[in-house]
Homo-oligomer: A and B are copies of this chain.
Amino acid sequence: MNKSIIIGVMGGGKASPKDTNAAYRLGGLIAEQGWILLNGGRNTGIMDASAKGAKDHGGLTVGILPDDNPGRASKYIDIPVITGMGSARNCINVLTSHIVVACPGGAGTLSEIALALKFNKVVILMDFDVGKLFESYIKPNIKQGTLVYTKTPEEVIAYCKKLHIQKEGVLRNFDVF
């Protein structure tokens, strides 16, 4: 395996069929780029769907689990990282991802968006309107700590490419330009 980009996909443990379908397609597209998919690792909602999408398309999947055992891990996760730290693992999710994609979700997902922006990550919202709360993070030029709106998995991937994340530098520096 060559060094690769890690794309974090956040989103609800409970999710609508529309949202899980989109997450599945996103996972597949991430795999097709040769990127690693990272998520919260559980066998429900956006986590399970995005991991399945990646696996069905030959990808590698990493799940950062809140539990202290792998009992609730998605079967589509290759590398279950067992933290035993509950929601404190949300920090690890976003710190480890070169780019964070947020699908619709509840309070847990919102905490991950907030933490990602605090850690100066680019956060791409996929069909998820977070209202005016984070609007100060929407900037004319994409840079670290920026929030981006998209509607579809294809748009997410286009944005990731635009960020030139394939550069070697990304892996070491977490720089996106």
> How close is A61's CB to chain B, nearest CB, in angstroms?
9
Cβ of A60 < 8 Å from any Cβ of B? yes
Pairwise interchain contact A174-B118, C-beta atoms closer than 8 A: no
Report copies per complex.
Answer: 4
Distance A73 CA – B73 CA, assembled complex (angstroms): 27
Residues from chain B with Cβ under 8 Å of A119 in the complex: 68, 87
- Checking B6, B115, B174 against A111 with a beta-carbon cut-off of 8 angstroms, the contacting residue is B115
* 7 A-B pairs with C-beta separation under 8 A: A62-B81, A84-B91, A87-B115, A87-B118, A107-B114, A111-B115, A111-B118
Q: A84-B85, A84-B92 are in contact. List 10 more A-B contacts (CB 8 A).
A: A70-B173, A81-B92, A81-B96, A83-B91, A85-B92, A87-B118, A107-B114, A108-B115, A132-B133, A133-B133
